[in-house]
A and B are shown apart, each in its own frame.
Chain A
Amino acid sequence: MYVFLSIAAALSLFPLIWAVISATNANTDILRGTMLPGTHLIQNFNRLTELTDLGRAFWNSARNATMATFISIVICSLAGYGFEIYHSKAKDRLMSVLLLSMMIPFAAVMIPLFQLTANLSLLNTTLGFMLPTLSTAFLIMLFRQNTRTFPQEMIEAARIDGLNEISIFLRMYVPTMKSTYAAAITITFMGTWNVFLWPRIIMISPESITMPILISNLMAGYVADFGVIMLAVTIATLPTIVLFSFLQRYFAEGMTGTIK
């Protein structure tokens, strides 16, 4: 069992390790298949900053992903809470319709969404970037499912103590469901940090470049410098690794609906 898991872990980690090692090597060494750390890290970094606006791309990605995560968590947790606590048959039917929306591939709604964003003058803006992710059926479903484990008695006791509905949500629900929030933050941040197709269409201006677009641009030339590309990939991976390592304790609990 451990042998199998070790092999699976090694296979999963290999691309990341290869990217980190390649970030320290010259392009020709990578193409020749070297698997040892090299001495070209500084040169690759200098080349990366010379070729691209790395700081701007990193800031744009961080800003877009942070804001999209924050706002979508607020909206989806309120929605999930509402669907479960203020339960009714009509809301159940609405939830089913919402879940059906998960079956529609993004490519099918991309063009009308693009038209809408353009008509609202939101191209090249974070708001335009966030629009499709602000309310997702998956997050609403995650919060709704996990709210089932939230003790109804706590809400009734709080109402008797005189707390209004918003205060119950903020003071009782949010602190109790922190594992679910951690899982939702991790999933949403990773999704919005790595999202490529949507910003590639609407972030036309060079000033609104994000990290995935920057990496894609680096790969577009006839002569690709894989040392530089792998360094950009490594830098782009860092925030999600850091976030996940901080929240991993809660992540499994949140996904399984455990509360403390």
Chain B
Amino acid sequence: MKKLLVLLLTLVMAGMLLTACGRDDAEDVAVNELTVWSWDPAFNMFAMEVAAEIFERSNPGFVLNNVEMPWETIDMQLTTIGISGEHHLLPDIMLIQDQAIEISVLTFPQLFADITNSGINFNEFASGKTDFSVVNGRNFAVPFDNGVTITAFRTDILAQAGLTIGDFTNVTWNQFIDLGRQVLDTTGMPLLSTYGVGASFMDVMVKSAGTSLFDANGQPNFVNNPAFREAVDRFIEMVDAGVMLLPGDWSDYIGTLAAHDVAGTLAGCWILGTIQEVGPAGVWAVTNIPRLNIPGGTNYSSWGGSSWVITSNANFDLAVAFMNYTFAGSTELYDRILPAAGALSTWGPAAASTVYLEPQPFFGGQTVFADIIRFSQNIPDFMGGIHHYTAMDQIDIALGNIINLGMSIEDALREAEAAVRFEMGL
């Protein structure tokens, strides 16, 4: 009996070993197939499925291999494949966070295809979006979602303070904070929340004035940057006044919306999906963001979204044809992915679609998508910077030091700028 058991176990292990040694991926890739890496089945992966369905109609037999991979993993794969030189492991197309395009292209130029002269008309996309993907005058990505920043409020809570969404439209941050105090005094509720410590929020405020955290030479510019200083002052004022809540992470932030702990939020327009999930329906409204009280300040900015890059391992002609026909050429695609996934475009022709003009019952009948497209067309041009994430980390530390440790704003910003310089090797 014991020997039989041992024999059985050995056979099972041998069987497992044989199946395990076989490669799971197909060696022979079909000519009419594209492999794509992206990360959200309900959002960008869904959009890719719809695009494939549309493309297949004019290109029978087309196959999409839609692989789910979180952004953190894609980022890690870029580094691993870039350093190891195993470029054949890249997919044809991958989704990449806007803020990461420039540094990825500059660090691993051999991983990406230059699509400047591919025939894709980049002029039809909002320049605030393509700014992210143009590196040294060359274009490396097809824009996907719209990262335009919006302010969304529950009008029923604003009404308790005698306010409407119109009171928050085209205002300065100073006016916004005064209105926030009014809401807090009347309802006891903070006006808004954001996730993390606030570096992304700060970045959005700075971009709204068409400026950057870096100067024209790419050097960090925190201490002598009027836009940044104004942004920090207003941000700290909001936190000190209790107008702004700072939950620790993304889930706590969503929790403040779900638990109705705040009157609204300020974020990229991708937050609309979450808002529609947490409800309640019919009372939410959307408007533009406050502006910095400095020359060049506007009420429009971008939180950053994502874009599609074609890799150096791609079936280039097929990948370009696919992109040109769908994300850079199909109003049907955007008409379908907007209501189903809330994916807003930065592609100009999509804005004329009737789907975008439809009033949204969830938002009290507001033509919210048309409004957001209008906001996106007013985002000032801004300069990115390959050390964006380094700056974000240090600004988070600086804000933490100011808010939690009582450090002076001047000292905190000086320390943050010095730390970024050190990390940049300056």
Q: A19 CB to closest chain B CB, in angstroms?
A: 13
Of B22, B77, B251, which is within 8 A of A226 by CB?
Answer: B251
Among B13-21, B237-245, B380-388, the one that faces the other chain is: B13-21
Q: Are B20 and A205 in contact (CB under 8 A)?
A: no
Q: Are B20 and A64 in contact (CB under 8 A)?
A: yes
Per the 8 Å Cβ criterion, residues 20-41 of B in contact with A are 20-25, 39-41
Of A32, A70, A111, A201, which is within 8 A of B13 by CB?
Answer: A70
Q: Are A204 and B16 in contact (CB under 8 A)?
A: no
Q: Indicate if A167 sits at the interface (CB-CB under 8 A).
A: no
Q: Indicate if B161 sits at the interface (CB-CB under 8 A).
A: no
- In the docked arrangement, what's the CA distance between A207 and B20, Å? 12
Q: Are B255 and A221 in contact (CB under 8 A)?
A: no
Q: Indicate if B84 sits at the interface (CB-CB under 8 A).
A: yes
Among B125-133, B271-279, B288-296, B370-378, the one that faces the other chain is: B271-279
Known: A205-B25, A221-B43, A223-B274. A31 touches B76 (CB 8 A): no
Q: Indicate if B83 sits at the interface (CB-CB under 8 A).
A: yes
Q: Indicate if A13 sits at the interface (CB-CB under 8 A).
A: no
Q: Which residues of B lie under 8 Å from residue A67 when comparing CB positions?
A: 13, 16-17, 20
Of A31, A110, A121, which is within 8 A of B258 by CB?
Answer: A31
Q: Indicate if A114 sits at the interface (CB-CB under 8 A).
A: yes
Q: Which residues of B lie under 8 Å from residue A66 when comparing CB positions?
A: 16
Q: Indicate if B110 sits at the interface (CB-CB under 8 A).
A: no
Chain B interface mostly helix, strand, loop or mixed? helix
Q: Which residues of B lie under 8 Å from residue A118 when comparing CB positions?
A: 84, 86, 89
Q: Which residues of A lie under 8 Å from residue B41 when comparing CB positions?
A: 51, 221
Known: A31-B251, A67-B20, A221-B42. A115 touches B86 (CB 8 A): yes
Known: A31-B255, A63-B20, A124-B23. A200 touches B13 (CB 8 A): no
- In the docked arrangement, what's the CA distance between A112 and B25, Å? 22
Q: Indicate if A38 sits at the interface (CB-CB under 8 A).
A: no
Q: Which residues of A lie under 8 Å from residue B77 when comparing CB positions?
A: 201, 204
Q: Indicate if A219 sits at the interface (CB-CB under 8 A).
A: yes
Q: Indicate if B259 sits at the interface (CB-CB under 8 A).
A: yes
Q: Which residues of B lie under 8 Å from residue A101 when comparing CB positions?
A: none
Q: Are A216 and B73 in contact (CB under 8 A)?
A: yes
- In the docked arrangement, what's the CA distance between A31 and B255, Å? 5
Q: Indicate if A220 sits at the interface (CB-CB under 8 A).
A: yes
Interface size of B in residues (CB-CB distance below 8 Å)? 42
Per the 8 Å Cβ criterion, residues 209-246 of A in contact with B are 216-217, 219-224, 226
- In the docked arrangement, what's the CA distance between A111 and B76, Å? 11
Of A112, A125, A206, A220, which is within 8 A of B70 by CB?
Answer: A220
User: Chain A contact residues (Cβ within 8 angstroms of B): what range?
Assistant: 35 or more
Q: Which residues of B lie under 8 Å from residue A17 when comparing CB positions?
A: none
Please indicate which of the listed interface residues B17, B43, B77, B257 has the most CB atoms of chain A within 10 Å of its own CB. Answer: B17
Q: Which residues of A lie under 8 Å from residue B68 when comparing CB positions?
A: 206, 217, 220
- In the docked arrangement, what's the CA distance between A226 and B249, Å? 14
Q: B105 CB to closest chain A CB, in angstroms?
A: 20
Q: A188 CB to closest chain B CB, in angstroms?
A: 15
Known: A124-B25, A200-B73. A31 touches B20 (CB 8 A): no
Known: A121-B23, A126-B21, A207-B24. A111 touches B254 (CB 8 A): no
Q: Indicate if B340 sits at the interface (CB-CB under 8 A).
A: no
Q: Are B277 and A223 in contact (CB under 8 A)?
A: yes
Q: Are B274 and A220 in contact (CB under 8 A)?
A: no
Q: Are A219 and B70 in contact (CB under 8 A)?
A: yes
Q: Are A127 and B20 in contact (CB under 8 A)?
A: yes
Q: B14 CB to closest chain A CB, in angstroms?
A: 11
Per the 8 Å Cβ criterion, residues 252-271 of B in contact with A are 254-255, 257-259, 270
Among all A-B residue pairs, the 6 with the closest Cβ atoms = A126-B20, A220-B70, A31-B258, A221-B40, A207-B24, A205-B25
Which B residues lie at the A interface, using CB under 8 A?
Answer: 13, 16-17, 19-25, 39-43, 67-73, 76-77, 80, 83-86, 89, 250-251, 254-255, 257-259, 270, 273-274, 277-278
Other CB < 8 Å A-B pairs besides A114-B80, A118-B89, A220-B69, 8 of them?
Answer: A118-B86, A123-B23, A125-B20, A126-B21, A208-B25, A220-B70, A222-B273, A223-B273
Q: Could you write out 19 A-B pairs with CB less than 8 Å apart? A: A31-B258, A31-B259, A33-B255, A33-B259, A63-B16, A63-B19, A67-B13, A111-B84, A115-B84, A118-B89, A123-B23, A126-B20, A201-B76, A201-B77, A217-B39, A220-B70, A222-B43, A223-B42, A224-B251
